[in-house]
Structure 1
Amino acid sequence: MIRVDILSKRYGRVPVLGPVHFRIAPGETVALLGPSGIGKSTILRILAGIDTDFEGCVSRPEHMAIVFQEPTLLPWRSALRNLTLANAGLSEAAAREALARVGLKGRGEAFPGQLSLGQQRRLALARAFAGRPELLIMDEPFVSLDAKTAETMIALTETLIAETRPATLFVTHARAEAERLADRILELRGEPATLSPHLVQTEGYD
């Protein structure tokens, strides 16, 4: 069980987050909703261990993967090497299979700059799922995509989550995406922001 117990988070003297408490069960997908700037990505960074300057505690597995808003690929490495470098022990054959699963079969030797934005996003997904993480964190991975590409990416993400079943925290401001992908939706509100359960399946987690 992943546990997030944030008492407060400040930037300087400015309080950003008030008490924020939630759990994510193994195999569960939780969406975190809220307007831009309210603190969604801050919670993501705290859960990931990137931001440790907060009051409270977080319990998470060591084996996790993050999909950011931008693909954050290594531009000087091939698509294949982006996968194997990020996932220790992943064989070349398994990496090529992971690329094929996201529609990048035969593109293993291509560099990120030779891929379209949609293909780069596919590569970022392949990198995240290839190691079969226990915890997956996604920070608005479909932002800035056109409607057709976004639909393709959402469908692909649905399939990959169903196959690998990580505990997932999905950060978005788009309610339709949250309702489609998540088992449970939580919403940030107020200043400093606090968390309110929004949809079903909250009992026993908070």
Structure 2
Amino acid sequence: MIKIDVERKAFGENEILRDIRFEVADGETVAILGASGIGKSTLLRLIAGIDEAFEGEIVRPSNIAMVFQEPVLLPWRSALQNLTLVHPTLGEQAARGALERIGIADKAGLFPGQLSLGQQRRLALARAFVGRPALLVMDEPYVSLDPQTAEEMLELTEALIAETRPTVILVTHSEAEAKRLARRTIRLAGRPATIVDGVGPPGAKREDMT
């Protein structure tokens, strides 16, 4: 069970988040919705443990992977090395299998700058999933993609979630993405942002929520 209790998050005098409280069951996928700039990415960084300067408490597993808005790959390393260096226990054969699973096995020796944006995002997904994280946090991973590539990425994400069964917290501005991937949605609004809709018991289906 992942427990989020953010009493307050501010940058200086600029208060971003207040009274954000919810829980996520093991293996559940929850989407966080809200307008651009509302504080969704800030909340995700708190949940992932990247930013610990807040008032409150977050209980989460130690095995966490994050998919950022930008691929954030190692530009001086090949696609294959972006997997094996981040996951030292991953053998080359397994890493090549991961690249084959995401459809870029023939790009193993290329550097990120030689890949298309869609291919870079596929590699970022593989890097996250190959470690079989207990918690996967995803920050608008399909932004700036054309519709066909975004659809391919959504299909790939669905398949990888089904295969590895992590708990997933997804930030998105897209209702369609949330409906496609998440069992439950939580909406942020206001200044500072707080939860205005969607909190239900962990594991609840949408029809169970009020």
**TM-score band, normalised by shorter chain:** over 0.9
Work out whether 1:106 is the aligned partner of 2:118. no
Give the Cα separation in 2 of the matches to 1:123 and 1:160. 13
Secondary structure of 2:22's counterpart equals strand
> Which residues of structure 2 form unaligned runs of 5+?
205-210
Give the Cα separation in 1 of the matches to 2:174 and 2:79. 29
Amino acid in the other structure paired with 1:203: P
State the TM-score, normalized to the length of structure 1: 0.95
Give the corresponding residue for 1:168.
Answer: 168
Amino acid in the other structure paired with 2:87: N
Q: Are the structure 2 counterparts of residues 104 and 5 from structure 1 closer, same or farther at C-alpha, using a change threshold of 3 Å?
A: same
Secondary structure of 2:105's counterpart equals coil
Aligned runs of 1:74-153 on 2, under 5 Å?
74-153=74-153
Deviation at 1:196, TM superposition (A): 3.3
Q: Quick one: percent identity of the two aligned structures?
A: 59
CA RMSD of aligned residues (A): 1.4
Give the Cα separation in 2 of the matches to 1:87 and 1:7. 34
CA contact (8 A) 2:38 2:193 kept: yes
Amino acid in the other structure paired with 1:51: D
CA contact (8 A) 2:183 2:203 kept: no
CA contact (8 A) 2:184 2:203 kept: no
Amino acid in the other structure paired with 1:8: R
State the TM-score, normalized to the length of structure 2: 0.93
Give the Cα separation in 2 of the matches to 1:132 and 1:197. 31
Deviation at 1:204, TM superposition (A): 4.9
Give the Cα separation in 1 of the matches to 2:8 and 2:122. 35
How many residue pairs were aligned?
A: 204
Select between 105-114 and 169-178 the one with higher mean Cα deviation.
Answer: 105-114
Q: Are the structure 2 counterparts of residues 78 and 7 from structure 1 closer, same or farther at C-alpha, using a change threshold of 3 Å?
A: same
Deviation at 1:198, TM superposition (A): 2.4
Give the corresponding residue for 2:50.
Answer: 50
Deviation at 1:46, TM superposition (A): 0.4
